[in-house]
Amino acid sequence: MTDTLFLTSSDVDTLATPAEYVAAVRDGYRQRGEGAPAQPRSKFLREDPAGMFTAYAAILPDTGAMGGYMYSAGFGAADGWFMTPLFDAESGAPLALLDGASMNPFKTGAVGAVGVDELARDDADTLAIIGSGAQARGQLHATATVREFTDVRVYSPTPENREAFASDFDDALEADVRAVDSNTAAVTGADVVITATQASEPVVDGDDLEPGTHVTAMGQYSPDKRELDAETIARATYVPDLRDRATVDAGSFIQALEEGAITEDHVHAELGDVVAGTEPGRTSDDELTVFDSGGTGIETVAAAYLLYERASERGLGQTIEFAPASEALTGN
């Protein structure tokens, strides 16, 4: 038997700051750029009851951990459930099992922030956010740790939501955070644009993006999801979290391919390649860059191990036992 730590969502809720998530995730992508294994998600859909079941995984050798995410959304419960198994990358033994709900916006925000830090101009100080939900909040919390923004504009279709978002962050950040009444008003003149939506049609018009803009898009993890138009993808230095994901579920890239605006060779590099320094990121101030963040096991394992270490230090969680196969299969 081996003791494994079970951590509830409330156990890990306040264990790490946004900046700490960013540092852990950055190191995870550095390892990926140096050859750490990771693959795009597997996605299973059911029509009745309607729902989606998703899984993805990664091994981070330097961290000493491996694991990933399994989650369901919809089905009869009409809700989402996030489970994160974490294993020791040396022994293979299970280290922890996390309820991954609380960490989700933070680890996803962290990889978005790494993309901004690697691809946005150093002097970027104006940020546009399209979306006002939990993921948009996670993106802003994390991205505010890598650039000193003075002007943040948020747009979502529901006025009450965007106003509440702006009010909350205007108190929390030194930047002027304000709600605006259109995508165009948010994006025009912005140095960095973040899209955090569930859109099936573009929420950003490429004509509104000025030279030198960086875009992080994190809501297009299905062929039928599309936050960016073909012009934006074609103009941009395009960097996905995983190269293989671009033609599997990166909706904006796939639809730009189908429209003939690009070829598969349009992928510049994976984020890990840029973080590790094996491929360049931004090379000029007037370059348009796009980071396509659809979710991988890299940020999941990096964040989960950070939380596991913190919880272990503080004596949080419950211990559960797992039987090794040598015992369970033989009955010894």
Amino acid present at 277: G
Q: Is there a single domain that holds both residue 144 and residue 188? A: yes
Q: Is there a single domain that holds both residue 94 and residue 151? A: no
Sheet of 65-74: strands edge to edge? 42-47, 50-60, 65-74, 79-88, 94-99, 2-7, 318-322
pLDDT at residue 105, as a whole number: 95
Burial letters 78-113, b for 16+ CB under 10 A, else e: eeeebebbbbbbeeeebbbbbbbbbbbbbbbbbbbb
Residue 110 forms part of a structural domain: no
Q: Is there a single domain that holds both residue 127 and residue 23? A: no
Q: Is there a single domain that holds both residue 181 and residue 280? A: yes
Indicate the number of domains in the chain: 2
Structure tokens at 153: 């504009």
Evaluate whether 215 touches 228 at the Cβ level (below 8 Å): yes
Residue 72 forms part of a structural domain: yes
Q: Is there a single domain that holds both residue 146 and residue 216? A: yes
Q: Is there a single domain that holds both residue 195 and residue 258? A: yes
Residue 114 forms part of a structural domain: no
Q: Is there a single domain that holds both residue 63 and residue 204? A: no
pLDDT at residue 332, as a whole number: 57
What CATH number does residue 304 fall under? 3.30.1780.10
Return the ∠ at Cα 102 (arms to 100 and 104), rounded to 5°.
65
Q: Is there a single domain that holds both residue 276 and residue 315? A: no
Residue 109 forms part of a structural domain: no
Q: Is there a single domain that holds both residue 129 and residue 80? A: no
Q: Is there a single domain that holds both residue 245 and residue 140? A: yes
Residue 113 forms part of a structural domain: no
What CATH number does residue 230 fall under? 3.40.50.720
Residue 324 forms part of a structural domain: yes
Q: Is there a single domain that holds both residue 57 and residue 95? A: yes
Along the 332 residues of the chain, how does pLDDT read in single tens digits? 899 999 999 999 999 999 999 999 999 999 999 999 999 999 999 999 999 999 999 999 999 999 999 999 999 888 999 999 999 999 999 999 999 999 999 999 999 999 999 999 999 999 999 999 999 999 999 999 999 999 999 999 999 999 999 999 998 999 999 999 999 999 999 999 999 999 999 999 999 999 999 999 998 888 888 999 999 999 999 999 999 999 999 999 999 999 999 999 999 999 999 999 999 999 999 999 999 999 999 999 999 999 999 999 999 999 999 999 888 777 65
Task: Find the helix or strand (DSSP H, E) in which 104 lies.
Answer: helix 104-119
Q: What is the pTM of this model?
A: 0.96
Distance CA 159, CA 165 (A): 10
* Segments forming the whole domain that contains residue 96: 2-104+297-328
Residue 195 forms part of a structural domain: yes
Distance CA 304, CA 29 (A): 14
pLDDT at residue 224, as a whole number: 87
Q: Is there a single domain that holds both residue 135 and residue 57? A: no
